[in-house]
Structure 1
Amino acid sequence: MTSTSDSGRLRAGAIGRREVLFQSITAMAPGAAIAASIPAGAGFAGGALTLAVIVALIGSLLTAFSISELASRIPSAGSFATYASRALHPIVGFFVGWGYVFVYALVPALLFLQLGFTVAGTFNSEFGYPSNLWWPWSLLGIALVGALALLGITTSAKTGTILGSIEIVVFLAAGILFVVHAGSHNTLSVFTTKYTPKGFHGISGVFAGSVYSLLAFAGFEAAAPLAEEAKDPKRTIRFAILGSTLAIGLVYVFTTYAASVAYGPARFSSFAGAGAASWIGLSRDFYGLFWILIFLAIINSTIGNANAGTSVSTRMAFALGRIGVFPGILGKVHAKTKVPHIAVYSQIIVSAAATLILGLAFGPENGFALDGTLITIVVVAVYILMNLSSMVYFARSISEERFNFFSHGIVPILAIAFLFPALLAGAGIAAFSFISPLTAPASYAGPIVAIWLILGVIVFVRLRSASPGAVNRISEVFLEEIVDEPRA
C-alpha cells in the first residue's frame, strides 16, 4: 500500500454519524425528488407511480446492502472505483470511477436547473417575473454551494443536516394534509397497474416510471466517499447508506401516494414538477399560503442536494487525482481547510457550464429531464457493478465464513434483477415488451453516455501508456488495512 503524506490527505474524523447520514439523505434530495424527479415519471406510470417508487425502493435497498458490505471492509474516498478495482479488476475500477465522476459532476447541474425553473416559474405565476430568466437563480445557487464547499467538510456537512431535516418535515406535513384532503378517495389501487396511461399501459409504464424514481434514490451511497473524513468509518458509512435508503424510501412511497390520491390517480399522468398540477399547485389550491413552505422546501432541497453532490464529485476527483488516474492537481488539498480546493473550483466551472448549456439548449425543464436520465443510466450501471463486486469480493475472501449465501449471493442477484429493466429503459433499449423507449430529449442520454465511455477508452489507453501503474493504484485503500484481503 502506498502511503500518503498529510498534505495529500483529507481531515480524518471531521464528521460524525449524523452528518454522514445526512450526506446521503441530502444527496438524495428528498424535497426536490418528491417535487420534480418522481413526478417526471408520472407521464409513464400515471396513477401507478407509487408502485414504480416501490420497485425502485426494493432495487435500491438491496443495492444499498451490497454497497454497505463493501464500504464496511474498504473505507476509501475512492469508494466505488476502489471497490470494483479490488473485487473485479483495476480496469473495471477505472471505468466505474470515470462514470461516477461524470455522474456526480452533473448532479449539481440537475439541481441548479430545478432551482432556476422553480423560482422563475413560481415568481412568474405570482408576480409576473419573466419565466425565461431562470439562469440568474441557477448561478446564485452555484455561487452559494461553491462557497460552502470551500469552507470545509464540517461546515458543508452540518449545513446539509439542517437543510435535509427541514425539507423532510415540510413534505411529510404536506403529505398528511393531502391524504386528509383526499378523504374517501384514498385507495390502494394506486399500488397496481390500474391507472397506467394508454401509451405505457401495464408493467411497461411502471418500469419506465421507475427510471425517475431511481433518480430520486440516487445518492444514498454518497456517504461512501466521505470515509476518510468520518469517525469510525466502517460502521458509520454502513449505517448511513442503509439508513438513508430505507427512511427516505418510505417517505417517497408515502408522499407519492398522498399526491396521487389528492390529485386523482386517473389523471395523475399529467402531474408535473411545476404549475397547477404540482406539489406547489395543489398546496395553493388546497391550503392557500401553505404553498410558500413547499416552495421554500424545494429551494432548500436543491441547495442541500447540490451541496452533497459537490462533496461526492470533488472527493472522487481528489481520490483519483491523488493516485495519478486524473490530473495530479486535483489530488491537492488546501493547507488550512484540508479541502480539495482545485477539485472544488473545477466542479464550480463544470456546474455552471452544464447548467447553462442544458438549460439554454433544451429549456430548463427538458434539460433537467435529459440530465436526470444521463445520471440514472450511469448510476444504475454502477449499482449493478457494485452488486457484482460484492459477490466476487466476498467469494474470494480469505476467511470463508465471511461469505454469506444470502447476503453476498441472493441479495446482489435480486438487486440486479430489479435494476436491469430500469437501465434498459433509461438507455432507450426496448429489449423486452414491458420496456418503452423514452422521448426526446431524454432519449439522447444513451448516445451521450456511449460517447463518454468512448472518451474513457481513449483516456485509459493513453494513461496505460504514459503511467502503467496508475490504473492499478485505484485499488489502494488510504486508511488502515481492510478487514479481509481477497485471494490473489
Structure 2
Amino acid sequence: MTGSSDRDELAKFGYQPSFERRTSKFASFAVAFAFVSIATGIFTTYGSVLNSSGPLGIWTWPIAVVGQLAVAFVIGSLASRIPVTGYAYQWTSRLANPVLGWIIGWISFMFLAVVVVAVDYTVASTVLPVLLSYEATTGITWAITAVILIGQALLIGISQRWTEKVNNTAVTAELVGMVLLTVLLLVVAAFRSQMDFGNLWSRGAIPAEGYWSFGDWTSAGPWMLGFLLGAFTIVGFESAANLAEETNDPERVVPRAMWQAVLASGVLGFLFLIAVTLAAGDPIALAESGTPIADVIENTLGSVVSTLLLLLVVLAIFACGLVIMLTGTRLTWAMSRDERFPGWKQLKQVSPRYGTPLKATIMYVVLAEVILGLFSLFSEDALFTLFGAATLLPAVIYAATVALYLAKRRSLPANGKFELGKWEAPTLVVAVIWLVFELALFRDTSFRDAWLYVLALLVIGAVYLVGLLATRGRSALDMPDMHSIDAELDHKSPTPTDSSAPTNQKAQA
C-alpha cells in the first residue's frame, strides 16, 4: 500500500517513478547525519575557533544548534508537503515562481559542488598527513583529493544500494565512536586529574577588550566568529529530502530524519566539545597545532586511540563527501528532468543497468575536479576559501527557504504527516533571528574570496538563464503538471481537466 501511495503522490506533481524506493528510515537519517558529520566539522574547525574566539567559543555551539533545529523543522514542513527530488529547487519553483526556483536550484548546486571539494580536501590536507606521516604538498593534496572524489563518484554511479550500505556503516561507526571517545576522554582525564574546568571559560590568547563586540561593518567580533563552528558543521540535514523519490513514505520519514539528525549531532557534538576542551591542557599552545583534536586525544588516551580517532575521521569525511555528491547528482538530475539544466538531455537519463543517474554523476565529479584544480592553482588559502563558501551558501539557501515558508505558510495544504501546529510561530521566530544573525557573520573581510566565488558562479548561472529564456521563452521554466499544489493553494480541488494546468510533457525522466 505504501508503494502505491507514494506513486500516486508523485504523480500529483507530474512525474513517474524513476528510482526504486529502497531508502529506509535509518538510511534517510544516515544521509542527513552523514552530511552534518560532527566528526568532520569539529575536527576541521575547532582549531579555528581556538584562534578566533578561544575555548569560550564552544558555547556558541548550542545556540547554533537551536537555530538550525528551528530551520530543520521549517524545511521539514515543506519537504513533507512536496516530497519530490530537487528539494529547495522544487519548493521554490512550485510555491514562488519558476525563475526564483531555478536561481535557488543553481545556488544549491553551487553549494554542493564546492562543499564536496572542501570536505574531501580536509582528508588530504589535515588528516592523512598526520595519520601516515607525510608532508602535505600542494601536488600530493590535490592528487589524493582527486582520487577520493573519483572513488565516491564510482560508488554513487554504480550502485545506490551499496552507497547506502557504506554510508549506514560509516554513520553507525561515527555515532558509536564519538560516544566512546567522549566517555573515554571524560573518564581518563578525570582519573589522571587532567581536567581543567577553567578552560571552559577561557578566552585563550584572545584579548578581553572587545571580545563580546559584534564588530563593525567589515569585521565580526571574536565571540561572533565562534559561531562558525556550528554554522559550518550543522548543515546539510536537508539532503534527506533530495532522496524523497527513493524513500518509503517520504512525507513522514524525511522531515523526521532532518530534525533527528540535527538534534543527535547537536547533543553529541557539544558533549564531545566539552570533553575535548576540559582535557585540552594549555589552550594557547593547543591553538598553534594544525590538528588540535588529535593532539588532545593522543595526550589523554595515547597514540593508539589517537590513530583510531583519525581513522574514524577519515571514514566520517568519506561518508560526508559521499552523501554530498549523492545529493548533488540528484539535484542535477531533478533540474535536468525538468529540462532546466545545461546538458539536460543527457543528464536526465537514468542508467538502465545501474538504476542511477550515471551521466549526472560523471558531470558532477568532473566539475568537482575542475573546482579543486582552480582553488589549488589560484588560492593561497584554498581550504579556508572552500570552507567559507561552504558555510555561506547554505545560509543563503536556508534564508530563502524560510522566507518562502513565511510567505506561503497560511495557504500550504496540510497532509497530517508532519506539521508544526501551535509551535509554528515560535519556531519561525527562532529560525529568522538565527539566520539574520548567521548571515551577519559573513560581512567579515576574511570571507571576501568566498563572496567572489559565489558571485562568479552566479554570473555563470545568470548567463545560462538569460540564454535559456532567449532561446526557448518563458515556458522553458514551467514546471510539469503543477495543478495539484496550485489548486490547493487556490483553495479549490485539483482536477485532471483543469484548464490552468500545464501539460505533462516533461513528466517522463
TM-score (norm 1): 0.86
Matched residue type, 2:211: H
**Compared CA separation, residues 189 and 409, structure 1 to 2 (3 A):** farther
CA distance in 1, matches of 2:91, 2:395: 16
Deviations, residues 396-455 of structure 1 (Å, cap 9, x unaligned): 2367999967544331232121122221212xx2xxxxxxx243xx43111221232233
Instruction: Work out whether residues 13 and 480 of structure 2, in 8 Å CA contact, stay in contact via their aligned partners in 1.
Output: no
| One-letter amino acid matched to 2:269 | Y
Aligned residues: 463
The CA deviation at 1:336 is 2.4
| Two-structure CA RMSD over aligned residues (Å) | 2.9
Unaligned runs of 5+ in 1: 430-436
CA contact (8 A) 1:120 1:134 kept: no
Classify the secondary structure of the residue corresponding to 2:385.
helix
Counterpart in the other structure of 2:475 = 469
For 1:362, the aligned partner's letter is S
> Mapping of 1:291-440 within 5 angstroms?
291-327=306-342, 328=344, 329-362=346-379, 366-397=381-412, 406-426=422-442, 429=443, 437-439=444-446
1:95-152 per-position Cα deviation (integer Å, ceiling 9, x unaligned): 110100110111220122111113452156x4x5565522332122122211111123
Looking at structure 1, the residues matched to 69 and 355 of structure 2 have their Cα atoms a distance apart, in angstroms, of 33
Q: What is the DSSP-based 3-state SS (H/G/I as helix, E as strand, rest coil) of the residue aligned with 1:13?
A: coil
Match of 1:280 among 276, 294, 300: 294
Q: Cα deviation per residue 1:240-267 (whole Å; 9 max; x = unaligned)?
A: 1011010011111111122222114853
8 Å contact kept, 2:50–2:283 = no
Rounded Cα–Cα distance in structure 1 between residues aligned with 2:28 and 2:35: 11
Contact 2:146 2:369 in 1 (8 A): yes
Distance change >3 Å, CA 123–CA 414, structure 1 → 2: closer
- Counterpart check, 1:153 vs 2:160: yes
Cα distance in 2, alignment partners of residues 134 and 200 from structure 1: 38
Aligned to 2:489: 486
Cα separation, partners in 2 of 1:353 and 1:224, compared to 1, 3 Å: same
Quickly say closer, same or farther: Cα 1:288–1:281, change in 2 above 3 A.
same
Aligned to 2:65: 57
Tell me whether 1:71 sits opposite 2:79 in the alignment.
yes
Name the SS for the 2:352 alignment partner: coil
Give the conservation status (yes or no) of the 8 Å contact 2:81–2:415: no
Match of 1:270 in 2: 287
Query: Aligned partner of 1:486: which letter?
Result: L
The equivalent residue for 2:449 is 444
> CA separation of 1:17/1:168 partners in 2, compared to 1, >3 Å: closer, same or farther?
same
Report SS of the residue matched to 1:485. Answer: helix
238-247 or 393-402, larger mean C-alpha shift:
393-402
The gaps in structure 2 that reach 5 residues or longer are 1-11, 214-220, 492-509
Name the SS for the 2:488 alignment partner: coil
Counterpart of 1:15?
23
Q: CA deviation at 1:205?
A: 2.4
Q: Distance in 2 between matches of 1:254 and 1:2?
A: 43
Deviates more, 1:32-41 or 1:296-305: 32-41
- Deviation for aligned residue 1:158: 1.7
Alignment of 1:134-173 (within 5 A): 134-173=141-180
User: Aligned partners of 1:44, 1:474: CA distance in 2, in Å?
Assistant: 48
Identity %: 17
Alpha-carbon distance change, 196 to 338 in structure 1, aligned in 2, over 3 angstroms: farther
Question: Does structure 2 conserve the Cα–Cα contact (< 8 Å) formed by 1:47 and 1:268?
Answer: no
> Does the Cα contact within 8 Å between 1:31 and 1:171 map onto a contact in 2?
yes
After superposition, give the CA deviation of every residue in 1:336-362 in whole Å (9 maximum; x if it has no partner).
222111110011112222223323443
Specify the SS of the correspondent of 1:41.
helix
Would the alpha carbon gap of residues 265 and 129 (structure 1) be closer, same or farther in structure 2, given more than 3 Å must change? Answer: closer
Contact in 1 for aligned 2:112/2:324 (Cα 8 Å): yes
Distance 1:196 1:154, change over 3 A: farther
Structure 1 distance, partners of 2:272, 2:486, is 40
Aligned to 1:433: none
1:96 to 89, 95, 104: 104
Question: Which string of whole-angstrom CA distances, capped at 9 and with x for unpartnered residues, describes residues 252-300 of structure 1?
Answer: 111112222211485388166x34xx12222222222111111101110
2:25 is the alignment partner of 1:25: no
CA–CA separation in structure 1 for the residues paired with 2:456 and 2:482: 28
Alpha-carbon distance, 1:155 to partner: 1.5
